[in-house]
Amino acid sequence: LREHEEFTKVKNIATIELGRYGIETWYFSPFPPEYNDCVKLYFCEFCLNFMKRKEQLQRHMRKCDLKHPPGDEIYRSGTLSMFEVDGKKNKVYGHNLCYLAKLFLDHKTLYYDVDLFLFYILCECDDRGCHMVGYFSKEKHSEESYNLACILTLPPYQRKGYGKFLIAFSYELSKKEGKVGTPERPLSDLGLLSYRGYWTRVLLEILKKHKSNVAIKGLSDMTAIKSDDILTTLQGLDLIQYRKGQHVICADPKVLDRHLKAAGRGGLDVDVSKLIWTPYK
Ligand code: ACO
Ligand code: ZN
């Protein structure tokens, strides 16, 4: 599959139809060869099966009985819902999601061994069903303490705070596991911007509250953000000094306020009391 990708980096599918939206694609995705001649693909927004023709989708919609992603609903707050899908129990869904996501992810090599992953699907729900807004994937067991493999907000929903919600959610899961986490590298430009924004806001708010009397380790314990990511974030804000062989946080309240203002809006908040979840075993 990777070979195939290397040789044909040309964008194949130019647009997709998904729920209410027609969406222009960004990158090549290695759909099975029989879809190579398609410019447009029609997705069922619930099971993510894809078809070449609109009539096929219409026929499918009459018999598809899903109204939300498969798997367990682990979070519901207002109209926002999160579903956890085990790639091993829902292989077809996992593959469909990977094909779809690759259309918007450039330098990520997607894993088609979906068995090893959990998928967290964020939905906006109404009386017609739960409509996918974005998702992230997570390895069931990560040696490198990755708490997120791939993240995507579908283009019609971007820049509304869903990305930061997904990132915050990934750290809430890490907190429940009692582990620190970090996103898999490399990050895309948009991925880095979103993470940097999230880390900055979360860390500055704690520093402000604790009047900067916290060490990097303490910040890591409170946030589940890996120490390396805390260090680079704070170094980027020029809040770190190196004293007697140690990195120390030096932040004057006025400087913190200035950075907080510049950090922009926060995302949509995760209400932890609405998260019903136990770590994968
Ligand atoms: N231009 C400039 N800044 C942007 C843009 C943009 N188009 N999009 C996001 N940002 C920055 C902003 O700082 C924004 O915060 P702000 O709106 O307060 O200024 C911040 O990122 C996050 O914005 P959100 O609305 O919370 O995020 P969004 O829902 O747009 O999702 C995401 C961000 C997931 C990265 C999205 O852009 C996306 O899906 N991109 C395509 C796939 C991708 O690149 N994924 C990351 C790959 S790396 C990995 O998977 C580990
Ligand atoms: Zn379907």
pLDDT tens column, 73-130 = 999 999 999 999 999 999 999 999 999 999 999 877 666 699 999 999 999 999 999 9
Q: Is 161 in the pocket of ligand 1 (CB under 6 A)?
A: yes
Task: State ipTM.
Answer: 0.97
Whose structure tokens read 């207002």? 78
Largest CA distance in the chain: 70
Alpha helices in 45-90 (DSSP H): 54-63
Q: List the domain boundaries for the chain.
A: 189-262
- Give residue 277 CA to ligand 2 midpoint distance, Å: 26
What ligand has the least distance to the C-alpha of 46?
Answer: 2
Residues with active-site annotation: 184
Ligand 1 contact via 155 beta carbon (within 6 Å): no
d(CA 104, CA 152): 8
Q: What topology does CATH give the domain 189-262?
A: Arc Repressor Mutant, subunit A (1.10.10)
103 lines ligand 1 (CB under 6 A): no
Task: Output b/e per residue, 68-103; b: 16+ Cβ within 10 A.
Answer: bbbbebbbbeeebbbbbbbbeebeebbbbbbbbbbb
3-state SS of the chain: helix, strand, coil percent to 5?
A: 35, 25, 40
Q: Is the pLDDT of residue 3 over 80?
A: no
3-state secondary structure of 26: coil
Q: What's the predicted TM-score (pTM) here?
A: 0.95
Distance 23 CA to ligand 2 centre (A): 18
Could you tell me the pLDDT band of residue 231, with boundaries at 50, 70 and 90? very high
